[in-house]
Amino acid sequence: MAAIDDFVKRQKEGATFVITAQMLRMEPEDFDTVAQVWLDDGGPGFNVVGVPHRVVIDDEFLISRVTVIKTRPSPAADS
């Protein structure tokens, strides 16, 4: 997921920022799947903070935006 790694490595450690489905050019259904993993395990160099924003699509609540905090340099930044 190069797009997210590029975006995260530009942030300073401890920075709080928002990641959206639109920003990653993902459909809400796909973003929801990835965001669920981030909620449970954290993302590449960040953790989700607060309550994710959800939208209703076909009578289903899907995560469309998350607020995250950068925890450490992204692994991609080390290469």
The pTM score is: 0.82
Examine residue 3 and state whether it is found in any structural domain, yes or no: no
CA distances from 10 to 28, 40, 60, 71 (A): 24, 24, 33, 13
Examine residue 52 and state whether it is found in any structural domain, yes or no: yes
Give the total number of structural domains in the chain: 1
Examine residue 66 and state whether it is found in any structural domain, yes or no: yes
Examine residue 4 and state whether it is found in any structural domain, yes or no: no
The pLDDT, as a whole number, for residue 73 is 62
Examine residue 39 and state whether it is found in any structural domain, yes or no: yes
Express each pLDDT in 45-77 by its tens digit.
999 999 999 999 999 999 999 999 999 764 555
Domain span at residue 22? Answer: 11-74
